[in-house]
Amino acid sequence: MTSYLELTRPLNNLITALAVFIGAWIAGLTGYMDKLFFALLSASFISAGGYVINDYFDLEIDKINKPSRPLPQGEIRPRSALVFSFILFMVGIFFSLFIKNIALILAIMAIALLILYSFKFKRTPLFGNLVVSFICGLAFIYGGLVGRDFRLSLIPAGFAFLFHLGREIIKDIEDIKGDISSGAQTLPVVSGINLSLLLTTIVFSGLLFLTIIPYYFKIFPLLYLIIVLVMDLLLVYVMVSMWRDQSKKNLGMLSGILKLGMILGLVAIFVVRL
């Protein structure tokens, strides 16, 4: 059971649940706690299913890049992982039925994109990064459905899209050795590391600028700005460090730092409604 749990990436699913909560929170969460509960469960199970099916399709790549994971180690059979992902997806769809009709549509769309991403899009230059970033931003909108005004959830959704787009490209640079050996046509493989770093810098620089906009137009308060500036400093550090050192070890560390930045971004949005 521990191996199956590891496949689902519990910490990442917790971050997904937090994104859903923040989306609902900023949209005006009042009197919708039951629907929020189901939204959190639905998104978490769909996210977990996405990680499992990603490991299923990435088995050969992970034998090189991440040999300690359950599938490369032989702790779980590939067919069992595939069935497990299907069960997780179905549970996620089931819980979406208790939210809104549009939630069911978004849940099915997210699952379809996760499957297509793992099967095909992940191995295509940039498009795969755009797809997974869109899915990450969708979590905020999913939560926003249970609030009074889901349009406010579009702000963190946009931030999340850019944040994850940059992080995904960094992860592709980190995994370039395994991707080359498996024939995956990711952006670093096709266009080179320097162009990938340049694009990541452009994306993160755009994000730095956009995070200031809600405060500038008095949409979000000063406390938001203070917290988000800490996240922005982390982004600046990541950009400087990735240009200095493209080793697998350093890029892996930067990916971890970006997870911390993710949490800071969630906190910054949370204080808006305090």
pLDDT at 182 over 80: no
Position 31 pLDDT exceeds 80 = no
pLDDT tier at 56 (50, 70, 90 boundaries)?
very high
Segment 27-39 shows an average pLDDT of 86
The domain tally of the chain equals 1
Measure the CA dihedral 141/81/70/186, to 10°: -60
Q: How far apart are the first and last CA of the chain?
A: 39
In which domain, by residue range, is 93 found?
2-273
Work out the pLDDT band at 113, boundaries 50, 70, 90.
very high
Please choose, from the candidates 263, 258, 231, 260, the residue with its C-alpha nearest in 3D space to the C-alpha of residue 21: 263
State how far the Cα of 225 lies from the Cα of 40, in Å rounded to an integer.
27
State yes or no: pLDDT of 197 exceeds 90. Answer: yes
215 pLDDT band, cuts 50/70/90, is: very high
Alpha-helical regions (H) of 8-122: 10-26, 33-57, 59-65, 70-73, 78-96, 101-119
- CA dist 217 and 198 (Å) reads 29
Estimate the crossing angle of helix 222-244 against helix 154-174, to 10 degrees: 20
Mean pLDDT of the chain: 92
**For the domain that residue 203 is a member of, what is the CATH number?**
1.10.357.140
